[in-house]
Amino acid sequence: MLVSELAERADVPLATVKYYLREGLLTPGETTGPRRAEYDDSHLRRLRVLRLLREVGGVPVTSLRQVVEALDDEGLAVHDTMTLVADVISAGPGPQTQDPVALEIVDRVITAMGWDGIRAESLDRQRLASLVTLLNGPGPLAANVEVLTFYAGVADQLARAEIALVDHSTERSHLLEQMVTGSVVYGQVFELLRQLGHEHHHAQVATGSARPQPVGT
Amino acid sequence: MLVSELAERADVPLATVKYYLREGLLTPGETTGPRRAEYDDSHLRRLRVLRLLREVGGVPVTSLRQVVEALDDEGLAVHDTMTLVADVISAGPGPQTQDPVALEIVDRVITAMGWDGIRAESLDRQRLASLVTLLNGPGPLAANVEVLTFYAGVADQLARAEIALVDHSTERSHLLEQMVTGSVVYGQVFELLRQLGHEHHHAQVATGSARPQPVGT
DNA sequence: GCTGCGTGGATACCGGAACTATCTTACTAC
DNA sequence: GTAGTAAGATAGTTCCGGTATCCACGCAGC
């Protein structure tokens, strides 16, 4: 297919596709003449992934370039690609504080969960420590190991389920695209469900019903 | 305190505080002279909340104005304020699709959860439907009622816990600020923990250990 | 073969968001 | 009385994510 068709099929303005090509987010189509180039299904899939990351995940375009680099590096194991992508994708700027106390709280949670596959350089780990610093600074909120471990337990349920859901036997590129988009979209899905849960339970409190209890019924 | 002190205590550039005042995100201090105004602790707390919503939650400044309006409307019940704020805060633009099929899927999940306190106009509900449309469009991912209900169950655990955690007996303004910031910050905390969970379980898969199982051990 | 649409490629421009800098006037503390 | 800063207003800046325009030219239909 030609660019215009690619753009139309992905429901993306042509100008934007050209922009992505310029930025190196899409590999140029196969040139079939001086003013002619052919694009295939892999381009279409890639473009869809990019739009999803941008629009649903809010991933900035500069980060997208890092994502495609990781995705296209055939020499990289699936696992390594995913950690690379994870470092880039999750929201917020890099960690600004390296408060050792917060880091230790985070590490204790990680240990309590038995999560032994986490790199010390994991940006998520450091970002989490920043948030803990923030929570334990001025203000009424506080994060302790117990609460965080509870959260981690819940998060673990999701992580397990999500990994179990993907078909691990498919080809590398398809598998990665599936995992990356899944992670982003289901992250949003969960966040919305959490908000809906809030809305319901707030209503419960407001109408004078019993306060919701954290664990059992 | 004077503006400069307010800015310093909240660790926000003075120019930014002035900007927020201009935008109506902060109420003007009490004028004690033609070129003098006094700010108090409520301003400081408000400013901290705003920065948190902006930096951690990524809430745009224009939405912040709506948030403060809801927060400052003393005639509004706590519950109603929260739903108003929730509509404004959660990420993404308003819903663009109103696919009846997706909406019905969402509603079935809501019913299955026994969530009867959710307004039909809830933006989160509609945003979720948009995501479901997206998932069930082209591409390998798919969202069915079962999977979504599983997610909703997990989300419900969090929502319960979070509501149980706040001290419901404090004064309106403090309570709301606590709930709003808590919702945003813990949303991020959870997302990071979910990513960490992924990182661990991916590592498990990569090292050839048993694949993680969704529910039990 | 001619024509006119559309292509690939390059470059320039735009609009919104979130600040940031400057300037003016005037109080206030020393 | 004078140096320092506050308040308030206005204008300017940076970054991001696109759009728009331009050009020279090949291809499809006639």
Q: Which of residues B76 and A212 earns the better pLDDT score?
A: B76
Q: Which of residues A207 and A123 earns the better pLDDT score?
A: A123
A92 contacts chain B (CB < 8 A): yes
Paired residues of A145 in beta bridges: none
The pLDDT of residue B217: 43
pLDDT-wise least confident of A25-29, B77-81, B135-139: B135-139
Number of Cβ within 10 Å of residue B98's Cβ equals 11
Crossing angle for the helix pair A145-165 and B145-165, nearest 10 degrees? 180
Q: Which nucleotides of chain C have an atom under 7 angstroms from any protein CB?
A: 6-11, 17-22, 25-28
Among residues B164, B183, B167, the alpha carbon closest in space to that of B82 is found at B183
> pLDDT tens digit string along B157-184?
999 999 988 888 899 999 999 999 999 9
pLDDT band at residue B142, thresholds of 50, 70 and 90?
confident
> pLDDT tens digit string along B49-63?
999 999 999 999 999
> pLDDT tens digit string along A47-62?
999 999 999 999 999 9
Between A and B, how many residue pairs show a Cβ–Cβ distance under 8 A? 280
> pLDDT tens digit string along A28-48?
988 887 788 899 999 999 999
> pLDDT tens digit string along A161-196?
999 888 888 999 999 999 999 999 999 999 999 999
Between CA A217 and CA A197 the distance in angstroms is 15
* 3-class secondary structure per residue, A42-102: HHHHHHHHHHHHHHCCCCCHHHHHHHHHHHHCCCCCHHHHHHHHHHHHCCCCCCCCCCHHH
Among residues A126, A120, A115, A180, the alpha carbon closest in space to that of A151 is found at A115
Average pLDDT over every residue of A98-108:
93
- A128: which chain B residues are within 8 Å (Cβ-Cβ)? 189, 192-193, 196
What percent of chain A lies above the pLDDT cut of 90? Answer: 74
Is B134 in contact with A161 (Cβ distance < 8 A)?
no
Return the CATH number of A1-90+170-217, one of 3.40.1440.60, 1.10.1660.10, 3.40.50.720, 2.60.40.10. 1.10.1660.10
What stretch(es) of chain B map to CATH 1.10.1660.10?
1-90+170-217
Between CA A117 and CA B200 the distance in angstroms is 4
Average pLDDT over every residue of A1-16:
92
- A51: which chain B residues are within 8 Å (Cβ-Cβ)? none
Strands B36-38 and A30-33: unpaired
pLDDT band at residue B43, thresholds of 50, 70 and 90?
very high
Would the pLDDT of A216 be above 80?
no
Between CA A201 and CA B117 the distance in angstroms is 7
The pLDDT of residue A124: 95
Is A139 in contact with B181 (Cβ distance < 8 A)?
yes
Give the nearest nucleotide to B3, CA to C1': D6
Q: For residue A165, what is the nearest residue in chain B, using CA coordinates?
A: B214
Paired residues of B196 in beta bridges: none
Q: What is the mean pLDDT of chain B?
A: 90
Q: Can you say how many angstroms the Cα of residue A66 is from the centroid of all Cα atoms in its chain?
A: 14
Considering only the C-alpha atoms of chain A, give the largest distance between any 2 of them, rounded to a whole number of Å: 73
Burial class (CB in 10 A: 0-12, 13-18, 19+), A85: buried
Q: For residue A191, what is the nearest residue in chain B, using CA coordinates?
A: B187
Give the nearest nucleotide to B19, CA to C1': C19
> pLDDT tens digit string along B78-102?
999 999 999 999 876 666 677 899 9
- B83: which chain A residues are within 8 Å (Cβ-Cβ)? 199, 202
Would the pLDDT of A74 be above 80?
yes
Asked whether the beta carbons of B68 and B59 are under 8 A apart, the reply is: no
Between CA B174 and CA B182 the distance in angstroms is 12
> pLDDT tens digit string along B5-28?
999 999 999 999 999 999 999 999
- CA angle B4/B7/B9 to nearest 5° reads 105
Between CA A217 and CA A215 the distance in angstroms is 7
What percent of chain B lies above the pLDDT cut of 70? Answer: 93
Paired residues of A188 in beta bridges: none
Tell me which range, A86-90, A92-96, B17-21, B96-100, is most confidently predicted by mean pLDDT.
B17-21
Phi then psi dihedrals of residue A139, to 5 deg: 115, 165
Sign of CA dihedral A46, A49, A54, A58: negative
Would the pLDDT of A113 be above 90?
yes
> pLDDT tens digit string along B117-132?
899 999 999 999 999 9
Between CA B112 and CA B145 the distance in angstroms is 9
